[in-house]
Amino acid sequence: MEGRQRVEELLKPYGEPLGDPGLRRGVRVVQGGADEARALFEKLAQLGRDAPVGSPSRGSRPGRLVEIPDLGFVGYREDSNSDEPTIDCRVSVRGLEKVKFKSVGYGS
């Protein structure tokens, strides 16, 4: 399966962005925790290769960054500013910049 098609299948199942809208545009919130976040990230990471240290896209955030050829980058952070596991999506998939995983019951 082509990389773009697989990325869209993972991030926009049935043509709709994964999860629910977050507080900011481009952010999606998914029920789950670190295990679910890592599982999705690993599926995305299989489509590319680790970005080299010093890559301008890597930035200063801790975590893992993967380059998906002809699409961009996806990154995984165990902790974000909002204390949730986060997948940063800098890929050419409209409407998605970040996927945040909230543990069931978080914020309720």
CA-closest candidate to residue 30, choices 108, 107, 104: 104
Q: What is the pLDDT along the chain (108 residues), one digit of tens a residue?
A: 588 889 989 988 998 888 888 888 888 888 888 888 899 999 999 999 998 765 555 556 678 899 999 888 888 888 666 667 888 888 877 766 777 777 544 343
- Kind of pairing, strands 49-50 and 27-31? unpaired
Does the predicted model carry a pTM greater than 0.85? no
Q: Are 101 and 85 in contact (CB under 8 A)?
A: yes
